Chains A and B, each alone.
Chain A
Amino acid sequence: MRDVFIAGIGQVPVGEHWETSLRHLGAKAILGAMEDAGVDRLDGLYVGNMLSGPLNQQEHLGALLADFVGQRGIEALKVEAACGSGAAALRVGYAMIVSGLAEIVGVVGLEKMTESRGPETTAALAMAADGDYEADHGVTFVALNALLMNRYMVEHEVSHADFAGFAVVAHANGVNNPNAMFRRPITAEQFVRSGVVASPIGMLDASPIGDGAAAVILASRDVARALKTSRPPVRIAASAFATDALAIHDRSDLLFLDAAARSSHKAYEQAGIRPNDLDLFELHDAFSIMAALSLEACGFAPRGGGVRLAQDGTIALDGRLPISTMGGLKARGHPVGATGVYQVVEIVQQLRGDAGRNQLPNPLWGMAQNIGGSGASIITHILQAPE
């Protein structure tokens, strides 16, 4: 297999972009990444997006965006795996380079969620669940995570307040990220007191929806080396994708993210590293319960122990395994189909030494894990710092 490098990154701040259309959000991120990489021509463009049909009345994003970034004529398509769409698009772009079908491609994660009424957005997001057997019963995406969290709290005898650390750390890290939606710290007390969305999940357990776009340029080793840019290319050391039952009631074990375990362990093997070698982990903290379950499935904590890592300092910037280093889904924001690419862009910032006040000291390995639905599609990428 050929090596694949990230040659450029681009992103727009997550927020309510009322003045900017879906296509222009995506174009800004792609053109930013192309400029960063010093390229003006792509072989292909892969667009991670979940809801442009129901929320923006626009599909066929591949051709649209290729045209609006000056690349009319190239191969281009949309990739959908619910909230995992961004990393799924990255995996398709990765496969194009690994296989030799392309030498340089763009990958963009893109979502525009603030143009519709809240209940319509909530209903659209529920399409990630089983339509006939979950969504038709009035189950929201928040409620699915609430069902997981309630069971977790009873089975492992932990309280809602025990999860506060995930949100507190994410918000602390979001303060210094100019692309984050929330740039203010929160306290554990605020976490506990926040209004209930779907019991036991409160407002501060949940990541905010928003508009956003993030992009990377992928290239083969030879092409990456020849680019006219001062940016050192970052190698994608592993790319792995696994699935589980779509409906949470069909999981063989409700409180274990089997697809996270499968994809992370495949990724460790591919990269030739162990979990303890990682210097940072951008996990999918769409809800605090998801952060705890991811840490357990990826080998950082025993079952029921994920929530402890939110309490003992492990996940802070100066801890043993920093997570959500630029704010995570919780504070940077969760424009669903864009999230997986933001995670990777942020790891590239860390590995290049460009993470500003949140810069970790000389990180070598970073892992990004993007989750579609409540764990049915889980994509893990491991990046290696430039030599």
Chain B
Amino acid sequence: MELSRHWRLQNQRYRLVGEVCDTCGVKIFPPRDICPECSKPAQELYTFSGRGEVYSFSTVYNAPAGYEEYAPYTVALVKLVEGPVLTAQLTDLGETEPEIGMPVEMVTRQLRTEGDQGMIVYGYKFRPALAAAV
């Protein structure tokens, strides 16, 4: 179930809250309290815009336990406009073929369910950027 683990991640999963290094200014996601660039403390919170582009992607046909019902699905490395890269599923693709460089934006979606009695885990996915939002 790992209830507390998923609860702890709510600010990252629902709002893309990371950090900014007040020494070198680099934006950090996920938060780690230590700047990966200059190794100085970095604890100032920073909320990312959720806009970015596809850096790489792959469509998964052999899913792990817990994700089998969703296969095939497409995972991607998304490079946020603020700099960091994160891993997430692409969603709402419709007829759109994903490609490297495609502009995307964050949405909140179901990541998985843990059976009829278990948790429904929500988090970020990325969809093709809507024209009105660009």
Cβ of B36 and Cβ of A198 under 8 Å apart? no
| A248: contacting residue among B62, B64, B77, B84, CB under 8 A | B77
In the complex, whether A73 has a CB less than 8 A from a CB of chain B is no
In the complex, whether B82 has a CB less than 8 A from a CB of chain A is no
Q: How many residues of A contact B (CB 8 A)?
A: 37
In the complex, whether A176 has a CB less than 8 A from a CB of chain B is no
CB of B99, distance to nearest CB on chain A (Å): 9
CB of A77, distance to nearest CB on chain B (Å): 28
Report the Cα distance A309→B61, complex, angstroms: 29
CB of B76, distance to nearest CB on chain A (Å): 8
Cβ of A140 and Cβ of B89 under 8 Å apart? no
Complex interface: chain A residues within 8 A of B61 (CB)? 196-199
With A137-B87, A138-B75, A139-B75 as contacts: A122 and B59 at CB distance below 8 Å: no
- Determine the residue in chain B with the shortest Cβ distance to A199: B59
- Determine the residue in chain A with the shortest Cβ distance to B71: A138
Interface residues of A in 134-161 (CB under 8 A from B): 134-140, 142-143, 146-148, 150-151, 154
Cβ of A133 and Cβ of B87 under 8 Å apart? yes
Complex interface: chain B residues within 8 A of A130 (CB)? 87
Mask for B71-90, Cβ within 8 A of A = 1, else 0? 00101110000001111110
By secondary structure, the B interface counts as strand
With A245-B36, A249-B87 as contacts: A151 and B64 at CB distance below 8 Å: no
Cβ of A138 and Cβ of B70 under 8 Å apart? yes
- Determine the residue in chain B with the shortest Cβ distance to A151: B56
| A150: contacting residue among B57, B70, B86, B112, CB under 8 A | B57
| A132: contacting residue among B9, B63, B76, CB under 8 A | B9
Cβ of A136 and Cβ of B111 under 8 Å apart? yes
With A137-B75, A254-B55 as contacts: A119 and B64 at CB distance below 8 Å: yes
In the complex, whether B68 has a CB less than 8 A from a CB of chain A is yes
In the complex, whether B128 has a CB less than 8 A from a CB of chain A is no
Mask for A93-120, Cβ within 8 A of B = 1, else 0? 0000000000000000000000001111
Cβ of A138 and Cβ of B65 under 8 Å apart? no
With A123-B65, A134-B87 as contacts: A154 and B100 at CB distance below 8 Å: yes
Cβ of B100 and Cβ of A151 under 8 Å apart? yes
Complex interface: chain B residues within 8 A of A142 (CB)? 60, 62
With contacts A151-B56, A198-B62 known, what are 17 further pairs, Cβ within 8 A? A117-B65, A122-B64, A132-B9, A133-B87, A134-B87, A136-B121, A137-B75, A138-B63, A138-B70, A138-B89, A139-B60, A142-B60, A143-B58, A147-B57, A147-B76, A150-B56, A249-B86
Show 20 A/B contacts (Cβ-Cβ < 8 Å), sorted by A.
A119-B65, A122-B64, A132-B9, A132-B12, A133-B12, A135-B64, A137-B88, A137-B89, A138-B75, A140-B60, A142-B60, A147-B56, A147-B57, A147-B58, A147-B87, A197-B62, A199-B58, A199-B59, A200-B58, A249-B77
B interface residue numbers (CB < 8 A to A): 5, 9, 12, 30, 36, 55-68, 70, 73, 75-77, 84-89, 100, 111-112, 121, 123
